[in-house]
Copies of this chain bind each other. A is one copy, B any other.
Amino acid sequence: METVKIGIVGVGNIGSFHMRNVLGGELKNAELLALCDINPEKLDRIQEQYGNRFKLYGDVDDLLADPEVDAIIIATPHYDHPVIAIKGLKAGKHVLVEKPAGVYTKKVREMIEEAKKHPELSLSLVYNQRMNPTYQKAKELVESGQIGELRRTNWIITNWYRSQSYYNSGGWRATWKGEGGGVLLNQDPHQLDLWQWICGMPERIFSFAYYGKRRDVEVETEVTAYCEYANGATGVFVTTTTETPGTNRFEIVGSQGKIVIEDEQLKFRRTVTDEKEWNETYTGGFGEPEVWEIKIPVAFDGSTGHLRVTQNFVNNILFGEELVAPATDGIYGLSISNAIHLSSWLGQWVELPIDEDLFLEELNKKIADSKDKDVKEKVLNTENTY
């Protein structure tokens, strides 16, 4: 194979974004072959614009039966992500899944099991923010021990502003049965992933989630989660879609240093001596170890990372390049997301790994009470919404 022939499943907001991404001319060794959507109006609009340039499918099974399709990008509502990924793998297709990997971990675990049967196929996730150099550098600083032992994490991520009009743009949006979650599931998968990618998985979570707060929706629009890590470190995660101007500030504190990522800049300060050692030997009153402010040559370069994550997927298929975001990693951030809900529903601490059956049971209660929205679906301009 010299060129990966791609089919996109779902051409709503994010599917259209992927379409422009693949067609943009910068993606190497790949071409857009086919598009699939259950809504014939969307396919009609594509045909109007592009004529017969692409193969158009109304049923994903027909797309997957097409031997010309090498790989698929899944951009459907969230519940279908692992379902279609499993189908795709079974049909022998490479799969790039939009985030989140799914709505509940039990189904994502099925996808992971299926993937084990197809080691020859690529299965990647659109965790495009893993391509951001500042987060990559933070991961490097933590893993290389530059900050010492992890002590505290804090992410205020409230710049995912979404209006009522946005929520009204799709009947499935922000409903339990159509989408399966709110800010944690639709907007925060990036941060929930990066949080654990850089700092590791927490051991237990206590959370405060608000459903339909300031928006007429079923799902969560504001959340604060608190966590403990196995080594005694603690963490806070604050998020909402109803705040403007939003904040995006990620603080990582270790026994020897502090990283703050805000306003697309990484700041790193480091004590000359590890705090633990310093504290054990200091004999004075109000002293502190000497702190150095260290300028690291890294900057957010403005890229959304979508092109990079897609190129990485294509290169993995063609050349075996290591995947930056294997879709099997998707279970980590989703576990945190599920744990946050479960804690707020039960009003108690939730240990990780979570009780997946209990989560699904509780989710199914929400789905049973979930109502259809009577709205006209719109495809929105997704520029700058990564």
| Copies of this chain held together in the complex | 2
Docked pose: A242 CA to B226 CA in angstroms: 19
Complex partner residue of A244 from B206, B289, B380, B382, CB under 8 angstroms: B289
Q: Is the Cβ of A286 less than 8 Å from the Cβ of B166?
A: yes
Q: What is the bound-complex CA distance between A53 and B285, given in angstroms?
A: 28
Bound complex: CA A194 to CA B282 (Å): 32
Task: Please indicate the chain B residues that have their CB under 8 angstroms from the CB of A232 in the complex.
Answer: 213
A144 neighbours in B (Cβ, 8 Å): none
Kindly provide the distance from the CB of A205 to the nearest chain B CB, expressed in whole angstroms: 11
Interface residues of A in 127-155 (CB under 8 A from B): 151-152, 154
Check B385–A244 contact: CB distance below 8 A. Answer: no
Is A165 within 8 A of B245, CB to CB?
A: no
Question: Is the beta-carbon distance between B244 and A271 smaller than 8 angstroms?
Answer: yes
Q: Give the total of A residues in contact with B, Cβ under 8 Å.
A: 57
Interface residue from B154, B166, B240, B289 paired with A238 (Cβ < 8 Å): B154
A381 within 8 A of B: yes
Q: A152 contacts B243, CB within 8 Å?
A: yes
Q: Are A286 and B213 in contact (CB under 8 A)?
A: no
Query: Once the chains are docked, how many angstroms separate the CA of A151 from the CA of B161?
Result: 14
Cβ–Cβ contact B226 & A275, under 8 A = no
| Chain B residue nearest in CB terms to A225 | B226
- Chain B, Cβ-Cβ closest to A379: B285
A residues 244-282 touching B (CB-CB < 8 Å) = 244-245, 247, 251, 253, 258, 260, 269, 271, 275-276, 278-280, 282
Return the contact of A285 from the options B152, B166, B208, B253 (Cβ within 8 A).
Answer: B166
Q: Is A52 an interface residue (CB 8 A)?
A: no
* Cross-chain contact of A224 among B236, B247, B291 (Cβ < 8 A): B236
Q: Is the CB of A245 within 8 A of B269?
A: yes
Given A165-B285, A226-B226, A285-B166, A251 contacting B247 (CB threshold 8 A): yes
The 3 tightest CB contacts between A and B, nearest first, are A285-B380, A245-B291, A161-B288
Complex A-B: 14 CB contacts under 8 Å: A151-B243, A161-B288, A163-B279, A163-B282, A164-B280, A164-B282, A165-B279, A214-B276, A224-B226, A224-B236, A244-B289, A245-B258, A285-B380, A286-B380
